[in-house]
Structure 1
Amino acid sequence: MDGNITEEQQVEQIKAWWKENGKAVVLGAVIGLGGLTGWRYYQAEVQSAKEQASDAYTQVVSALESGSDNAVADMKAYISSHQSSQYSVLAALQLAKVQVEKGELDAAAEQLSWAIANTQDAAILPIAQTRLARIFAAQQDYDKALAELDKVTAESWKGKVAELKGDILLQKGDAIAAREAYVQAQQLGGSPALQIKLDDLAQ
């Protein structure tokens, strides 16, 4: 403001400015506070949903492990109702494990395929992929099993994948390719059992 105008004129200018801009200032403040409150409410709801999903996951897994009559149906219902949560992927892995133990390989493969398609966790993906490959191998669909293993790209899994490829190739009857896979796995730091597998092939 101009330093030469009187205090009374300054007051009048402030009044005029407020009259012209006051509503916008108040509205902006209200919107800002409302947005902050809304964001905090949203965050609280998200956290609450995560906690509820976690609690429900613990319950359905406990029921599944106890062999409850409705456990499988409850687990499927949980997966269906929490598809946007990674807990549903973990639930699918747990359900597939139980189904494998029961010999329900097709059902287990379906759960693992769903988990692979829906996980966003780089740590979970190779677990699901290798388990699915094992199921295909158990069904004697060896080419499908090997193709599934080719999808595993995690660096830390290379040794395990190479060893599993060797196992599958051996089941398929290709001892030469199995030995090559075992040697590769050994170079990548595979399991202590690799040398035994190689020794068996040498006999």
Structure 2
Amino acid sequence: MELYDTEEQTVEAIKDWWKENGKAVIVGAVIGLGGLLGWNYYQGAQTDKQEDASANYTQTMQALSTDSDKAQSQVQDYIDAHKDTSYAVLASMQLAKVQVEAGELKKAATQLKWAQSHTDDDALAPVIALRLARVESELKQYDDALTTLKGVKTKGWEGRVDELRGDVLLAKGDKSGAYSAYSQAQQAKDVSQTLQMKLDDLAK
């Protein structure tokens, strides 16, 4: 059975539907168009941010070569100004590296924690985590370092994570745990050239 028997009934039904729903349709269309324009504006703004961050990144990083407090402050200002971009994460990692070399381990840990919480890049995340774990271990924050390593789930990093876990456990005084971690690292594809030496030293 036809839902509408005649063309007139169809027209009348459309008129009735429009009386009931026309306002909602118009409002919905306006909201949808506004959302689309808003999204395009947001995307454009994000692109502008990235381009601005990119343009200033190299110049800012060059300042770090002077190894001065002023240079570190300049890089921190860059990070604060571009905190929503991937360039800020890279700058934070570079600043942490300089701070480690200067023996400023607490500052470096702070930078790496910031970088860790501001990236969703699967390639960068494990690098940041391993660097942070090393710094935490140097600060004798062994349990924190082990917790940081537990958070690395990226495939292909198993060997490096287990080896560093062994280093942390050894520094903590747990030789048995270190040997177990090193042995587990041997099963991974990303085995380092120094791993066997570490195992040999523990076996003596």
**TM-score, L = length of structure 2:** 0.76
Q: 1:64-121, CA deviations, whole angstroms, 9 ceiling, x for partnerless residues? A: 1233552111111111110110100001100110111111111111111111111121
Task: Confirm or deny: 8 A CA contact 2:49 2:82 kept in the other structure.
Answer: no
Q: CA deviation at 1:52?
A: 1.9
> What is the alpha-carbon distance in structure 1 between the residues aligned to residue 37 and residue 128 of structure 2?
40
User: 1-side partners of 2:68 and 2:171: how far apart?
Assistant: 35
**Alignment partner, residue 54 of structure 2:** 54
The answer (yes or no) to whether the contact 2:86–2:119 under 8 Å persists in 1 is: yes
Matched, 1:200 2:201: yes
- 3-state SS, counterpart of residue 186 of structure 2: helix
Q: What CA distance in whole angstroms lies between the structure 2 residues aligned with 1:172 and 1:40? A: 53
Distance (Å, rounded) in 1 between the aligned partners of 2:68 and 2:140: 31
Which position in structure 1 is the counterpart of 2:74?
Answer: 74
Label 1:82 to 1:181 Cα distance change in 2 as closer, same or farther (>3 A). same
Superposition deviation, residue 47 in structure 1: 3.8
**Whole-Å separation in 2 of the counterparts to 1:41 and 1:172:** 52
Structure 2 counterpart of 1:84: 84
Separation in structure 2 between the aligned mates of residue 83 and residue 49 of structure 1, nearest angstrom? 10
Q: Provide Cα deviations, 1:32-60, integer angstroms capped at 9, x if missing partner.
A: 9xx99998887665444322211211111
SS in 2 for 1:120: coil
CA, structure 1 residues 192+69, in 2 after alignment: closer, same or farther (shift >3 Å)?
closer
**Larger gyration radius, structure 1 or structure 2:** 1
Structure 2: unaligned runs, 5 residues or longer: 1-32
Please say if 1:124 is aligned against 2:112.
Answer: no
Counterpart-to-counterpart distance in 1, 2:36 and 2:150: 48
Partner of 1:166: 166
Residue equivalent to 2:192? 191
Aligned pairs (5 A) from 1:19-34: none
AA aligned opposite 1:127: V
Structure 1 counterpart of 2:55, one-letter code:
D
Instruction: Tell me the C-alpha RMSD between the 2 structures.
Output: 2.3
Q: TM-score, normalised by structure 1?
A: 0.77
What are the ranges of 5 or more consecutive residues in structure 1 without an aligned counterpart? 1-31
Matched, 1:136 2:132: no
Aligned to 2:14: none
Residues 76/195 of structure 1: CA separation in 2 closer, same or farther (3 Å cut)? same
Distance 1:172 1:39 in 2: 51
